[in-house]
Amino acid sequence: MNTWLSLVTDALTRIPGYPSQQRTFFAEALAEPGRYLLVHRDPVPADHAHALLICRTGLFAFRFAEDVPAEFDGLRRHVEATFGKLQFGREKIVAHDAQIVLLVPGEIRRRGDGRFAVAGPGELDRVIRARHRQLRPTRVQAIANTVAHQSAREYDLLEIEDVTPDPPVPALLDRSEVLSPQRDAALEMPFQHWMTFLDPEQEVLVSRTYTGPARIAGPAGTGKTVVALHRMARQAKRSTGRQLYTTFVKTLANCQETYFRRLAPGTEGRVQFAGLHSWAMDFLGQRIAAPKLDPRGADRVFGRVWEQARAVFEDIEPHESYWREEIDRVIKGREIDDLDVYQRAERHGRNGIRLDDDRRAEVWHELYVPYVSEMRKRGISDYSDVIAIALAEIRNEPLPEPYDAVVVDEVQDMTLAGLRLAHAIAGGNGSSPLLLLGDGQQQVYAGGWRMADAGIDLRGRGEVLRVNYRNRRRVWENAAGIDAVNELGDFDDAPGVLLRDADVTLPDGVVRIWRGPDHYLESALVDGIRECGKPLSDIAVLTRTRKEAARLAGALAAVGIAALPLEDYDGTPHPAVKIGTVHRAKGLDFVAVFHPSWSGGGPRTGASRERARLAERQKLVAITRARDFAWLGIRDDRSEIERPS
């Protein structure tokens, strides 16, 4: 028997009230030095843990059971209350992160369901090692000593003379002591752990209860998504109900699912992450027949319609994309199926070009009607059709099993029809468990809406975050200087907070700016990536268009730099540079971001001003994806080449 195991065995013999089989579990929990076990005194109430474990991989609460305890909800509350009292200077333990483990006899076979894990004889050490937390040894010891002090009437810390003791740590740390903040520790960890870092000041939002639809707003980097993920994790550990996280772009949903599974493993069957269109297609496939979604076919159809009608609209706006957006984001996006309704509709976010009744009639008869007619002839649907069909179906027959929570991220990019669908998924009433996350300043799609248009009342159920936790100061300063105001503000029920008005917590940071002709962009980008000093796995190249992303991916491949399209990225660590459009990067974080753009040019009017505003918001989104390093390539073929400043 090795020295450590011998010490553990001796210590366990001094515990009264626990039979040998249960002591065997305790011995496995203490399989290596650096783990601290607190054992509950006999008798143990039904809503208390038999033992608590603090170690490098996190906080654990053990309960001996053959089935899910009837007092499980009380057990969860007691565990969170025990760990929730911990405060180390500015650092507060995230109590809902504690893992409850049911310790079962060998003949019992049961699986965890996300609220708890299950371990039989010989399985506990594997469960402990499987967690992704990495607490510092000194912090582990401090937590153990503090819990022992605060819970001395219930738990005894198992005293084991460590063969390699750590430096002594006081049992109860004074708040006035200067300790390393929790965010500093998170910065030192692998970047994927940073993605779910919850600042102590945000913990109150995780446990806040809402009686109906609610929203969390705030500028880029203020932690809206992180708060929502922790709320979902907390609920998943307290309830077996279903939850849905959805957003306009599927890449964000895929990545956030990866991060969430680290917070709440074992919840795959009841906590769903899906882009709204993907959810709608699955829903329709189960209810009726899923439509034949053909985005490329839709592009070809509209292209032909545009060629026929180009002469009518070129003097107003020559770009085909503007008129396609008019159909997707205004007419279909607002569920308009009648010309009279279209002529009366407010075109939020489209006021750069004002269309009178006659012009709207031309849009209707020359573009919308021919486009819809040809799509029907071909039997194909576009993304707007998918939302419309799903919304009609769920209105006709609501979901038989409601969700306990529906979280909509980057809600400002949804169409009005998409927002209405999300509300309907959550129940469609004043008490629906709908949580909306967003920031009007980060809108990267045309158009807009007001919350009242969707019939959603948020009064008294809103939070506005003002502290930027994501971007280092110099990165934030560069982004904050961008004029990217959205005319609708934040959800129109409360004044928005601009990025430049946020408080910044992370110091330093690096910003490099390159200026030069477009034909030098590839070489400048390659040089910038090689010189930035960041691992390729932590770098993203964010472009305005798919065509530009393909061009730059080819340039990187030509010099041996591997690139992964953002469409294929799910948040799992990957050694390649991530590359894709700003739209695909919404809500994501990277250590370093490279963003090519164009110089601003001269005065703008009408649609050109509208496009310029949208481009500025896209630039803001791109730069604020970076935590430590941002590279901005500004192309102007009239300028000489300037090395990064």
Residue of 394, 485, 493, 383 whose CA lies nearest to 436: 493
- For residue 214, the SS3 value is strand
Q: What is the 3-state secondary structure (H, E, C) of 227-247?
A: HHHHHHHHHHCCCCCCEEEEE
- Cβ neighbours of residue 645 closer than 8 Å, sequence gap 6 or more: 512, 513
- Cβ neighbours of residue 468 closer than 8 Å, sequence gap 6 or more: 219, 220, 221, 222, 476, 499, 502, 503, 504, 505, 506
Cα 449 from Cα 459, distance rounded (Å): 17
Q: 6-22 as b/e, with b when 16 or more CB fall inside 10 Å?
A: ebbeebbeebeebeeeb
Cα 357 from Cα 342, distance rounded (Å): 9
Q: 242-279 as b/e, with b when 16 or more CB fall inside 10 Å?
A: bbbbbbbbbbbbbbbbbbbbbbbbbbeebbbbbbbbeb
Question: If residue 594 lies in a helix (H) or strand (E), which one and from where to where?
Answer: strand 590-598
Residue of 396, 448, 399 whose CA lies nearest to 425: 399
Is 222 a known ligand-binding residue? yes
Is 430 a known ligand-binding residue? no
- Cβ neighbours of residue 510 closer than 8 Å, sequence gap 6 or more: 472, 474, 475, 532, 628, 629, 630
Cα 251 from Cα 170, distance rounded (Å): 46
Is 223 a known ligand-binding residue? yes
Is 219 a known ligand-binding residue? yes
Decide if 453 contacts 415 (C-beta within 8 A).
Answer: no
Cα 522 from Cα 565, distance rounded (Å): 17
Is 224 a known ligand-binding residue? yes
Question: If residue 342 lies in a helix (H) or strand (E), which one and from where to where?
Answer: helix 339-344
Cα 155 from Cα 144, distance rounded (Å): 11
Q: How many C-beta neighbours within 10 Å does residue 329 have?
A: 23
Indicate the residue type of 175.
Answer: R
Decide if 54 contacts 144 (C-beta within 8 A).
Answer: yes
Residue with tokens 């069957």: 269
The pair phi, psi for residue 522, each rounded to 5°, is: -60, -50
Q: In which region does residue 608 sit, left (phi positive, over 0), alpha (psi from -120 to 50) or beta (all else)?
A: alpha
- Cβ neighbours of residue 154 closer than 8 Å, sequence gap 6 or more: 40, 41, 48
Cα 52 from Cα 55, distance rounded (Å): 10
Is 295 a known ligand-binding residue? no
Cα 530 from Cα 534, distance rounded (Å): 8
Is 297 a known ligand-binding residue? no
Residue with tokens 């993304």: 383
Decide if 47 contacts 76 (C-beta within 8 A).
Answer: no
Cα 431 from Cα 435, distance rounded (Å): 11
Q: How many C-beta neighbours within 10 Å does residue 428 have?
A: 19
Cα 135 from Cα 124, distance rounded (Å): 19
Point out the annotated binding site for ATP: 218-225
Q: Which residue ranges are tagged as binding site? A: 218-225
